Structures are given as structure tokens and as C-alpha cells.
Amino acid sequence: MAVRVAISMGDPSGVGPEVAVRALAELRGRLVPYLFGDGPLLGRLAGRARLGLPLVASGEPLPARGALVAVTSLPAASARPGRPSAAGGRAQLAYLEAAYRCLSERGADALCTAPVSKAQVNRVLPGFVGHTEWLQERTRARRSVMMLAGRRLRVALVTNHLALARVPAAVTPSRLAETVAVTDEALRRDFGLPSPRIAVCALNPHAGDGGAIGREELDLVVPGIRRARRAGADARGPFPADSVFFRAAGGEFDAVVALYHDQGLIPVKLLDALLGETAVNVTLGLPVVRTSPDHGVGYDIAGKGKASPRSMVAALRLAVEIARRRASRRG
């Protein structure tokens, strides 16, 4: 099965364009890519990488072997590496919308998104906090879950881009149980694990020490785990966050459900930095396949030849893998 992947270029002033083109050069022939972005910028980068994909205008028929799709033609000042602009903010949202439209109209089998600047997009689309939430709204999914998936560690989040002070109120038993359920289903359907083991993080140090350091575990987390187990998931915990990731990375669990953004992403990115355990951001719970590299726009290194395409390569590979697995389940 030749998997077609719609790719949004991300911030034209960030590392997205260069890592996307370099990743496609590395994966040449292993997928059918449609990279939606800025025509002149993609043309230059693809020429240097000898990518060999045709450049077509947005709205034109897509060639069967893949293409670079020119959604914009920005002036050089609006796409300078490391220098975000208002035009670039509008453009990165346009690339995402075009790539998603291709996917929703069945011109692609999966979506892979290069990094955007949430701050820049928010100026164009107030309330934008990330791809995950945007896609949940667009697909009308009941519940989406952000997961960072690496070779040794998979971490799903109960809350995503939320101020730390608001986390305890957001971690309700029902929200936790829903997160575990979505994670359990995705591990079975998209990752091919027949009996996934899911560990759930505690909120407080030492899992609250029986209420001595807080009652969130007793009042919120334990009831959520019980609901998830009654629904059929092998959910365990709550475990102190200072030890559960080590246990999961050692193979005791197939995934960890963390309660907030930094609790879950710090260990994943530490493994990446120290051991090269490249992770992928994958959105669970959607009717479509969506992956992304696990890094941001990287303004400080954009255009300097320092950005590694490793995570983008991994994101594209995982998109292909999940799309194939879903297709095989459909028969």
C-alpha cells in the first residue's frame, strides 16, 4: 500500500520547511508526500536536496507520485529564518488548512504537521492553542489525546497546554478515565498491542502519601483509574512521577498517562536528548491519522543547517505505519 501523506510546512520562519524537505529526501520512495507550504521557499529547499518533486499551485490536481503544493508565495521578508512575521502567521494556518482539506477530501491517508508558532497563529485565529485541539474541533472528535511516542516510552496527557494552576481542577475522574480509554484504544488499533498496560501518574509527590501531601490522588486519580478499569482498560496506579517513567522505559508498562504537559514531556525529551530516543507527537482519538515531530519552531537555529530531521522522519514513518495498520483492519 502506497501511503499518501499530507504535510503542512509549519512556520516559514522556523525549522519546519527544512526538516520536512530533508526528511522527504531521506524517505524517498517510502511514501507519497504532498507538502503544503510556500512555493518559492519549498522550491529552493527542494532544489538543494534534489528532492525531485514537482511544484504545483494549490487547487491544481495532485500528481500521483507526490508534490510540493504552493499555498503561498511570500515575499522574502515574511519568511526570513528566525524572524516571525504577521504574514507568516497567516501562512502557517493556511498550510494547515490546505493539508487538512486534502486529508478530509481523501486525497491523503494521513496528516503530518511541521511545527507552528502558537503565538503567531493565535494572532490570526484567537484561541488557537495547538494542532491537537484544532484537529479535535475540525474532526468533531469527542475526545482527543496528545501522545509523545518513542521507542522506549509512550506518554499520553490528560491536560495539554494548560496553566499549571488550573491542572487540579481539570483532572476530574471522568476526564482521566476518558484519557485512559482513548489511549487504550489507540494502543490496540494504531500500535498493534493486544493487551496494553497503562500506568497513571500521581499529581503530588509520593502519590500524596495517603492524603498527607494532598488528596488529589484519593479524590480524583484513584476514582478515574477505577472507572477506566471497569471499562476494560488495564490501568494501574497512581504512581509517583519520579519513578514511573523509569519503570515504563524499562518495559513494565506500554504507556504512561501523565496529568499535565511538563510532567509527561520532560522524561520523553530527556531520553531524546541523552540517548537519541526520537519521539513523535501523535494525536489519539481522531478519525484521521495525525503525527508531528516532537519539537517546536526553533527560531534560534532556523536556516543555519543545524536542525535535525530525525523527529520529522520518525513522524512520517509513524504516520505511514498507523495508516497501513488502520487500512488492514478495514480489510
pLDDT the model gives residue 260: 97
- The whole-number average pLDDT for the span 84-93 is 93
Residue 272: is its pLDDT beyond 90?
no
Map residue 61 onto helix, strand or coil.
coil
Residue 198: is its pLDDT beyond 80?
yes
- Ranges in the chain annotated CATH 3.40.718.10: 1-141+288-331, 143-285
Nearest-5° Cα angle at 138, 297 to 23: 35
φ and ψ of 7, to 5 deg: -125, 125
1-141+288-331: CATH architecture: 3-Layer(aba) Sandwich (3.40)
Q: Which class for 26: exposed (0-12), middle (13-18), buried (19 or more C-beta within 10 A)?
A: middle
Asked whether 259 and 158 are in contact (CB, 8 A), the reply is: yes
Longest dimension (CA), the chain: 64
pLDDT the model gives residue 78: 86
Q: Is the dihedral of CA 294, 296, 299, 300 positive or negative?
A: negative
Asked whether 171 and 208 are in contact (CB, 8 A), the reply is: no
Residue 331: is its pLDDT beyond 70?
no
Q: What would the pLDDT profile of 213-245 be if each residue is shown by its tens digit?
A: 999 999 999 999 999 999 999 999 999 999 999
DSSP state for residue 83 in the 8-state scheme = -
Which CATH superfamily groups domain 143-285? Isopropylmalate Dehydrogenase (3.40.718.10)
pTM of the full structure: 0.93
